Amino acid sequence: MANTRKKHSAEFKAKVALAAIREEGTIAELSSRFGVHASMIHGWKKVLLEGTASLFARSSGGTTEATAVEAQLAPLYEKIGQLTVERDFFRKRSGP
């Protein structure tokens, strides 16, 4: 018999991870209360703790990300412009 995997929503994961951080019970108690394996709770708790720093760094880091994306897109737009000019040139030379 094949086991079916449960797919938990992000809200559920956050709820369980917050309960683990708040120490509303032991991991074993939380595991039985929410019906998930203890290792999943540990993983979700770790993801939550690692991700909270990015919430506070977003205000200054957002401009850096936008600049990086813009730097990657600039050569691509340049190439698109060059190819458009070449296409138009050859279209005019080949006739109507």
Task: For residue range 18-75, list pLDDT tens digits in order.
Answer: 999 999 999 999 999 999 999 999 999 999 998 888 777 655 555 677 788 888 999 9
DSSP one-letter code for 9? -
Identify the pLDDT of residue 55: 77
**Domains of the chain, residue spans:** 10-94
Cβ–Cβ < 8 Å for 40, 17: no
Identify the pLDDT of residue 52: 85
Nearest alpha-carbon partner for 15 in 30, 5, 32: 30
Nearest alpha-carbon partner for 14 in 37, 45, 38: 45
Residue 92 pLDDT more than 80?
yes
- The pTM of this model reads 0.56
Question: What DSSP string describes 42-90?
Answer: HHHHHHHHHHHHHHHHHHHHHHHHHHHHHHHHHHHHHHHHHHHHHHHHH
Residue 7 pLDDT more than 80?
yes
